Amino acid sequence: MSNLTKREIVVRISNDTGLVQHQVFDVVQRTLDLITDSLARGEDVELRNFGIFEVRLTKERVGRN
């Protein structure tokens, strides 16, 4: 099973819409930046018919190497 990368998302959207990859990349990057910024401010992000992004705090624990 392979991963869908940001680059692949850009290429697929570009192919489907006919938009230039650079423009699509800018929109995808800005979307991800907005999601990240909202989560950093403690806001949940809900994308209908997709999912909800939320920050969940967990108890601190000791790590092992």
- List pLDDT tens digits, range 10-60: 999 999 999 999 999 999 999 999 999 999 999 999 999 999 999 999 999
pLDDT at 31: 97
Q: What is the pTM of this model?
A: 0.80
Cβ count within 10 A of residue 9: 14
pLDDT at 65: 81
- Is a pLDDT exceeding 90 seen at residue 2? no
Instruction: Identify the band that residue 1 occupies on the pLDDT scale cut at 50, 70 and 90.
Output: confident
pLDDT at 42: 94
**Which residue ranges make up each domain of the chain?**
1-30
